[in-house]
Structure 1
C-alpha cells in the first residue's frame, strides 16, 4: 500500500510539473549548436543523458512592463554567427559584469554597455560555466583583438626607441628630457598591463595588474604636470637644483596616493556604482560601465589636464610680459618659447586622446557614437608612435643622433636651436 501511495504521489508531481511546463509561452531563438549539445571550452559537445534530464530549456524574459516571465526556447530559424564557437563569449546574469536582459520580441540588451542586439547578433546554447554547472545563456562574438594589439605593439616599440634615443644623446638628457623619459616609461608600462588584460595574461594576478596599470596611467599624467611646472619655474627663474628630485616625489607620490585611495575604495565601499571593482568577474581594470569610472579614472585625469592647461596659460602670459620688457631680447626667450611648443605637442597628444576617451565613456550604449569614438581609441593606443615621429624623426634630433654615432664635434650652443627639441 505504501509503495502504491508513493507511486501515486510521484505520478501526480510529474503531471503538475508537465502542466506547469506547458503553461509557459515559447520564445523563438537561434541555437549556437545542435540543441542537445553544450559548449565546453569553446566547442560544441554532446550532453550526457543525465545532463539532458536535468536541463530545462527555458529562460527568463523581460516584458515591456519590466516584469519577468519564464519562456521555453524554440528554434524556428538558424542564424549563422560571424564567428566560430571558440571565438564566442557568453553572458551570465549571475555575474555583475556580463549581465543581460532578453525581451519578448527577441532583442537582447547587454547590461555592461547598454547595447541592444537584434536576434541575428547572438545565439543561445547550454554552457559549462566556471562553477561546473550547465546553464542556458546567450553567446556573442568576442571583439577582435588583432587591430588593437598591433597598434599598441608598434606604439610600445616606438616608445622604447624614443627612450633609447634620449638616453643615448647627451644633449637630450636635460631636466626636461629626464621628465620626458619618465613620462614615456609610464606610458609604456600602462600599455603593457593593458595588453596583459586584453589577452588574459594577467588573470592569475588580476588585481595587482589592474592597480599597477592604473598607477602608471596616473603617473604619466603627473609627469606631464612636472613638465608644465618645470617650464613655468624656468620662466620665473626658480633655481633648478634638486628640481628633478622634487618632480619625482610629486609624480610618483600623487599617483601612489590616488592608487591607494582607489585600493581602499575597492575593498571597503559597499555601493556598487561607487566601487571601482578592480579584479572582479575577470575584469582586471576599473569598471568603467558606471559612475565609478568617472570617479576614479576620468575625473582625476580631467583635473590633471585642467591643471596643465592652467600652467600653460600662465607660462604664455609670463612670456608676453617678458617680451614687453626692453632688456629681454628675442634670443633670450627662444628656448622657453620652443620648450612651450614642445610641451604643447605632448599636451595635444595626451589631452585630445583622453578627451575623446572620456567622450567614449559618456556615450556608452549608443552604437553609432561608439563606432565614431573607436577612431579615438586607436589614436589613444598610437601615442607612442606619434611621439616617435614628432620628437625623434625631426632634423634637430636626427642631427644630434648622427653626431653621437659618428663622434663629430657638436655645434656651438649659441648656434644650436635648442627650442626645436625637448
Structure 2
C-alpha cells in the first residue's frame, strides 16, 4: 500500500512538473508529435525516431485537431512532444509507407514503399541542399490531413510553372503565385504518377474566402432560377422566342450553379465517376449560358435590321439558336475532354495549358492560365461581342426613331417605338447585370493571387452568386407579371407576345418606305 501511494505521488509530481513546464514553453500543435505508446525514461524523456525529447518539451493534450481550420475534438488524454523545437521536422500526410489516393491514405504500413526520399531543402542561410527527409528530419505523420475544407492537389516540380520550395523550418512555398504555407496547409506523401512512385507535396486548393457567402446566396439563386423559368414557361405572353431563349439561359446557369454548390460542400468528390462527369457538365453549362446570352444579343440586333437573314430564319430561328448555343459549348467540352485524356498523363507535359478537369476537384482547373484559355477567355470574348451588339442596336433604334418622325403620326410613332424600346430595355437590364457580374468575376480570377484586393473581390463574388435573386426581382416580381399570372389562373390570359412582333414589322416597313422615297 505504501509503495502504491509513493508511486501515485511520484506520478502526480511528474505530471505537475510537465504541466508547469508546458505552460512556460509555448509550442504550436503542428510542431508536436504524438508520443502515445512510447514509454518514458526514468527522467521523463521520450525517444521518438532516435530523437530524445526531454520532459520539459512534452505536455498533456485532451484534444486533437480535425483538419477543418482550428476545429478540435475531445479525445483521451495523451502525451505530445514538441519535437520540432529540437530538430527540423517534415510533415507527412500519413505513414510514409502509404500512398495518398483521392485524399485517402492507402496501403500497408508494414510493406516498405520504394521511392526516393531525397528533396531539395532551402536552409535558413538561403542555400539549397539535398536531404533524405526520412532520416535527416523528424517525420510528423499523426497530424490531421490538411485542407479538409478545400481539398488538396499535388505539385510536380518537373512541370514548368509548378515549382515549389521546402524550407528547413517546415514552411512551403508555391512559386507560381508566391504563396507560403505552414505545416497545417500542406503535407508530403508518396504518389504514383506515370507508373512511378515519387514524393510530392500536397497543398491546399485556392479557395475564395467568400465561400461562406456563396453557400448562402447560391441556394437562393437556384430557387430564383426555378421560379423565373416556371413563370416564363407558364405565361403564354412570355413563352415567345425571347422567353424561350431566356429560359434556356437560366436553365444553363441553374445546372452550373448547382454543380458549383455541390463542389463547395464536397458532395461530388466522394463519388469519383460522378465528380468526373460533373466537371465537364458544369463547364458545358456555364459556357452554354453565355452562348444563350449571345443568342439573345444577336436576335435583338438582328430584329432591327431588314435583311434576307431575317426572312430566311423566320420559321427556324429557335432551332438554329439551339444548334448554336448548345453545339458550340459541346464542341469546347469535347475539346477539353480530349486534351485531358491525351496529354494529362503524358510525361513531361506542361500542365499549365491542360484543362485539368478532375485534377483539383469536380471543375476545370482555374488556378493557372489554363483557366483563361478554356474558360474565362471565351466568356470574356462573348461579353465583348455582346457589348458591341447592344451598342449597335441602340444606334439602330435612334436611327429608326429619327426616320419615323417624318412619316408617322406622333401617337402611332410613340406606340411603335415603345414596343421596341421595351424589348431593348429588357435585354439591356439583363446585359448590364450579366456583363458587370461576369466581368468582375473574370477580373477576380486575374487578381486571385493579389491578396490586397481579396476583400474587394469577396464582395463582387457575392454579387455574382446573387444573380438569380436579382433576375427574379427584375423580371418576375412586377405588377404586370403578377396580374398575368392571376389572369392565367383564372382563365383570362390570352396567348399574346410580350413584345409586339407585328409592330416591329410595321416599324421596319415604314422605315424602309421612307428610305425608298428619299431616293
For structure 1, the residue ranges without an aligned partner over 5 or more in a row are 1-17, 19-24
1:374 aligns with 2:454: no
Q: Does 1:286 align with 2:325?
A: no
**Of residues 421, 442, 455 in structure 2, which corresponds to 1:358?**
442
Q: Is structure 2 residue 482 aligned with structure 1 residue 398?
A: yes
What are the ranges of 5 or more consecutive residues in structure 2 without an aligned counterpart? 1-49, 51-84, 344-348, 502-519
Between 1 and 2, higher relative CO (CA 8 Å, sep ≥ 6) is seen in 1
Q: CA deviation at 1:89?
A: 5.0
Deviations 1:192-235 (A, max 9, x none): 22234332415323333222211111111111111112212222
Paired position in structure 2 for 1:320: 398
Post-superposition shift, 1:390?
A: 0.9
Of residues 121, 127, 144, the one that matches 1:61 is: 121
Partner residue, 2:297: 228
Distance 1:55 1:263 in 2: 31
In structure 2, how many angstroms separate the alpha carbons of the residues matched to 1:188 and 1:232? 26
* Alpha-carbon separation, structure 2, partners of 1:39 and 1:259: 32
Structure 1 counterpart of 2:355: 276
> Using the alignment, how far apart are the partners of 1:89 and 1:324 within structure 2?
60
Q: Give 1:84 deviation, angstroms.
A: 9.0
Q: Greater shift after overlay, 315-324 or 63-72? A: 63-72
Given that residues 231 and 336 in structure 1 are in contact (C-alpha distance below 8 angstroms), is that contact kept between their aligned partners in structure 2?
no
- Residues 17-166 of structure 1: matches in 2 within 5 Å? 60-62=120-122, 67-70=128-131, 72-73=136-137, 89=151, 92-93=154-155, 100-104=164-168, 107-110=171-174, 114=177, 116-117=179-180, 119=182, 122=185, 146-166=212-232
Aligned pairs for 1:231-246 (under 5 A) are 231-237=300-306, 238-239=310-311, 240-246=314-320
Establish whether residue 343 from structure 1 lines up as the match of residue 427 from structure 2: yes
Which residue of structure 2 aligns with residue 212 of structure 1? 281
Give the structure 2 partner of residue 310 of structure 1.
Answer: 388
Q: Is contact 1:121-1:140 (8 Å) kept?
A: no
* Equivalent residues, number: 384
- Farther-moved stretch of structure 1 (349-358 vs 237-246): 237-246
In structure 2, the CA distance between the partners of 1:157 and 1:310, relative to structure 1 (3 Å rule), is same
Mean CA deviation greater in 333-342 or 83-92: 83-92
Q: In terms of Rg, which structure is larger?
A: 2
Pairwise CA distance, 1:160? 0.5
Identify which of 321, 340, 354 aligns with 1:247. 321
Counterpart residue number, 1:9: none
- The separation in 2 between residues aligned to 1:266 and 1:52, in whole angstroms, is 33
Distance 1:260 1:43 in 2: 30
Match of 2:331 among 252, 257, 265: 257
1:395-421 deviations in Å (ceiling 9; x for gaps): 2212212222233466999xx9979xx
Q: Return the offset for 1:119.
A: 4.4
Task: State the 1:134 CA deviation.
Answer: 12
- Which structure has more helix as a fraction of its residues? 1
TM-score by length of 1: 0.74
- How many angstroms does 1:385 deviate by? 1.4
Contact 2:93-2:189 within 8 A present in 1 as well: no
My pick for the range that moved more, 231-240 or 91-100, is 91-100
Aligned partners of 2:151 and 2:255: how far apart in 1?
Answer: 28
CA deviations 1:254-302 (Å, max 9, x no partner) are 22222233333334454422221222x3433222222211111111111
Quote how far apart the aligned CAs of 1:375 are: 2.0
What root-mean-square deviation, in Å, do the aligned CA atoms of Structure 1 and Structure 2 show? Answer: 4.5
1:176 aligns with 2:242: yes
Residues 165 and 61 of structure 1: is their aligned pair in 2 closer, same or farther, counting only changes over 3 Å? same
* Deviation at residue 181 of structure 1 after TM alignment: 0.5
CA contact (8 A) 1:32 1:85 kept: no
Tell me how far apart the structure 1 counterparts of residues 113 and 357 of structure 2 sit (CA, whole Å): 38
Task: Give the TM-score normalised by the residue count of structure 2.
Answer: 0.61
- Structure 1: distance between partners of 2:290 and 2:154: 36
SS at match of 1:236: coil
Work out the CA distance in 1 between the residues paired with 2:326 and 2:93: 52
Cα separation, partners in 2 of 1:207 and 1:412, compared to 1, 3 Å: closer
Distance (Å, rounded) in 2 between the aligned partners of 1:39 and 1:271: 24
Aligned twin of 1:21:
none
Q: Show the counterpart of 1:299.
A: 377
Distance 1:311 1:265 in 2: 33
* Alpha-carbon distance between aligned partners in 1 of 2:467 and 2:489, rounded to the nearest angstrom: 27
Distance in 2 between residues matched to 1:373 and 1:256, nearest whole Å: 30
**1:360-417 Cα distance to aligned partner (Å, 9 max, x none):** 221132222233212222222221111111111122212212222233466999xx99
Which residue matches 2:11? none
Distance 1:356 1:67 in 2: 41
Change in Cα spacing, 1:418 to 1:382, as seen in structure 2 (3 Å) is farther
Which stretch of the first structure deviates more once superposed, 136-145 or 260-269?
A: 136-145
